[in-house]
Structure 1
Amino acid sequence: MEKSPNLSQKIYLSILVFLVWFALIFQFSVHINTGVAVKSELVIRFFSYFTIDSNLLVALCSTSILFFRSTSVGRFFAKPQVIAAIAIYIIVVALVYNAVLRFLWAFEGWSMVLNELLHVVVPLMFLGYWIYFVPKQQLQWKHIWFWLIYPLVYTIFVLFRGNYSGFYPYPFLNVTKFGIEKVVVNCAIITLLFAFLSILFVAMARRKTK
């Protein structure tokens, strides 16, 4: 049975829960009022961003552990392999954004604050949570295959929908601009990043366990 969060863990999770939900709700409000498309399309576009989906997973995981630990949902999100998977997803968000996308757009005011929360603050805080509060002895090499399912499903969905709607949430996934061959190469590179981080996480966990 998973242990209940201690006081320091509750304080840490409380800060994380507040920040991630604040960023997601505020960002949704900004996005839905841009007027660049009809509301229904804007909602779909909002949840087409891997950044948003991964931060939402962080929000659901942190909230469930903090407030609903005794429920089936809370027990699921409290599993070390689930937390590790979400940590990998959100770290990929931070790495890809800061290495590839940061200088493509200029943000000001609250947009800049929200951008930093979603791409820097929340990823680092959730990584810190995994490092300091999550038991790691249960992580196994076989978990890596399951961790890669979500990014694969996401990529298939984005490319499939983009083929009909013409909207691609990230430039490196834009088949219309770069062609399918280039996009496949880009996807392969990001898949390798997911795989590398997954291997690193399990290796760190196994070494610490020993």
Structure 2
Amino acid sequence: MSKRLVYWALIASLGIFGVSLQIAEDGWGMLLYYTVLSNMLVLSFLIFLCLNEKENPLNQDKQLLRIKGGVTMAITITFVIYHFLLAPLAKPEDFWNVRNFLVHYIVPIALILDTLLIDTRKVYRWSDPFSWSLTPLFYSLFAIFNGLVTKLPVPGATDSPFPYFFINVGKYGWPTVLQNSLGIFIGYVLVGYLLVISKYFLGKKQSN
């Protein structure tokens, strides 16, 4: 087994452990959080890569690399939104624990580094950041639908049944939520382009 497969397996295992801790401690309602869903996306994709690598090496498949870029962006927003918007509001006991660091820091940063430093350069298209943005967009629609219609309780969320304060339509109204969502979308696309540009200089060179 190659070192990279071991690395992917380690990240997937940490993701499984982090998600399991989240659900074991607070119940299945944790699946309403983008954090948990994005970690599940990462661990599922990495398990697929581990099983697929021998027959179809990642760095030889441009389409798969572009999909991995989208998965990386999906978990990147987990790290960025939590660190800059949510962590400053978290209680010390909610911040300084293993499950929090696994899903918000360790798994995201591990995948970001793998994508930046090892994936093949110059495979992304300039339209990819917009395609990648569909993931948080669909989640936002899902989360707002739950907050307004199904109203399933979100464990630990002060704005439950909304998982995050910035999409709480009932409290802040549509104009503010749309403004927040637009800001996140623009930031997401800009970070996506940062990834595209970075991959012109970082990673494995394409074989001729």
- Distance in 2 separating the partners of 1:59 and 1:71: 20
The offset of 1:118, in angstroms, is 0.5
The offset of 1:163, in angstroms, is 1.0
Q: What is the letter of the counterpart of residue 187 of structure 2?
A: L
In 1, are the aligned partners of 2:82 and 2:104 still within 8 Å (CA)? yes
The offset of 1:139, in angstroms, is 0.7
- Distance in 2 separating the partners of 1:154 and 1:175: 15
The offset of 1:110, in angstroms, is 10
One of 130, 141, 146 as aligned partner of 2:131: 146
- Describe the shift of the 1:100–1:80 C-alpha distance in structure 2 as closer, same or farther (beyond 3 A): same
- Distance in 2 separating the partners of 1:194 and 1:183: 16
- Describe the shift of the 1:109–1:189 C-alpha distance in structure 2 as closer, same or farther (beyond 3 A): closer
- Distance in 2 separating the partners of 1:20 and 1:77: 25
The offset of 1:196, in angstroms, is 0.6
In structure 1, the partner of 2:154 is none
In the alignment, structure 2 segments of 5+ residues that lack a partner are 152-159
The offset of 1:109, in angstroms, is 8.5
In structure 2, the partner of 1:51 is 35
- Describe the shift of the 1:107–1:25 C-alpha distance in structure 2 as closer, same or farther (beyond 3 A): farther
One of 94, 108, 126 as aligned partner of 1:123: 108
Matched, 1:18 2:2: no
In 1, are the aligned partners of 2:22 and 2:30 still within 8 Å (CA)? no
Residues 68-88 of structure 1, C-alpha deviations (whole Å, 9 max, x = no match):
44689x999981111111111
- Describe the shift of the 1:25–1:107 C-alpha distance in structure 2 as closer, same or farther (beyond 3 A): farther
Sequence identity (%): 21
Q: Alignment length, in residue pairs? A: 193
In structure 2, the partner of 1:132 is 117
In 1, are the aligned partners of 2:69 and 2:115 still within 8 Å (CA)? yes
One of 39, 42, 46 as aligned partner of 1:62: 46
Residues 166-194 of structure 1, C-alpha deviations (whole Å, 9 max, x = no match):
61011111111111111111111110111
- Distance in 2 separating the partners of 1:177 and 1:161: 15
In the alignment, structure 1 segments of 5+ residues that lack a partner are 1-5, 33-42
- Describe the shift of the 1:109–1:94 C-alpha distance in structure 2 as closer, same or farther (beyond 3 A): closer
**TM value normalised by structure 1:** 0.81
In 2, are the aligned partners of 1:19 and 1:122 still within 8 Å (CA)? yes
- SS of residue in 1 equivalent to 2:199: helix
In structure 2, the partner of 1:198 is 192
- SS of residue in 1 equivalent to 2:97: helix
- SS of residue in 2 equivalent to 1:135: coil
- Distance in 2 separating the partners of 1:205 and 1:24: 29
Q: What is the letter of the counterpart of residue 18 of structure 1?
A: S
In 2, are the aligned partners of 1:92 and 1:193 still within 8 Å (CA)? no
